[in-house]
Structure 1
Amino acid sequence: MLEAIDVHADGLKRAALKAGPAARVPNCPEWTVQDLVSHIAFVHAFAVGLAVNRPVQPAPPPDWDDVLGWWDGQRLALREALNRAPETPAFSPYPGFAVTVGDWTRRMAHETAIHRLDAESALEDGPPTRFSPSFANDGIDEFLTSLLPRLGRTAEVRVTTPERTWALGEPKAGLNGSADDVYRALWGRPHQASVTGDLAPLAAP
């Protein structure tokens, strides 16, 4: 997962530099590329504090060149903060849920991967990034069994990929397809998964 953070952050940055700060992000219509970069820079910096049990509220600089450099520094700090035993306790913003360094590593890997897709959506000829079944299935599992409960949200749904099935509650809705497409669908990104019923309760946070 540490390697995944680096790989997807690098992909995100390549796309952002190619698109330019003023380009719109179709996956997130309210954002420009600069908004997207500022967001992921903030998230990485915030995760540094959480991983070392000293939460802070980072403030990314407003200038494009400055925020890119600041983000580079936060990425290095994040790798250092997460490069510890996965079971090491970390700060939890979720009442009643303990969180470890491993949990934050996993969260940052998937946060960065999804936002890589957003940066690439700003390109007219964006690369056809596809996630491996192992990574995408882990992202689905993290979303359904870790993130949603910690956010206090419930859903009654059956989610199926060729490799795995998740059944939450008494399923009233279904999501089926390749792991890559289901992963994207859960996060509200363009996908080719099959949807039945109402997936509104699963709307990405």
Structure 2
Amino acid sequence: MTSLLSGFGLGLSLILAIGAQNAFVLRQGLRGEHVLPVVLTCALSEIVLISIGVLGFGTLVARAPWAVEAMRWGGVAFLLVYAAIAARRAWIGGAALRPGGQMTSLRAALLTCLAVTWLNPHAWLDTVVLLGSVSTQAEVPGLFGAGAIVAAAVFFFSLGFGARLLRPIFARPAAWRALDAGIALVMTVIAVGLATG
């Protein structure tokens, strides 16, 4: 039980920090677009990433420091591009940001979801490297991984479906612009942290 709770706690603490994936899920939840497919895609992706880490990839990466460095600099580039896209949305504003604006296709939403998950080295560092490394010290690594998986699923479903409670605030285009500006700032800060840390 200790391993399960430890995995849940660490998994939740890692995923709570806003990142590209969380920002995208929040945005989809606020717009009410394809929420179930998006949260399922995120949850299933996390299951795979956490499983890779717990099943030993974290140890493999620890033996190949160049892989961690490559992930780090890839993460910096990815986060800066995502920050630039969010900054552009904040700058131009407009009807496309309104909840009732033009709908994103399911295909486009899922491709974006997969990109912000699988092409984001920051996600790999958190789930595969960090959780994988910590799981080696757990009493039962499998239960530790299961706890982290449950935390990810609970978080994504809560974020995606709970975002609707914030819709009255985001009925104004200015709120969408502020959200995108905040996302751009946070992504830039994370990128700088990765680059310097």
TM-score (norm 1): 0.26
**Which structure ranks higher in relative contact order (CA pairs < 8 Å, sequence separation ≥ 6)?**
2
Higher share in helix: 2
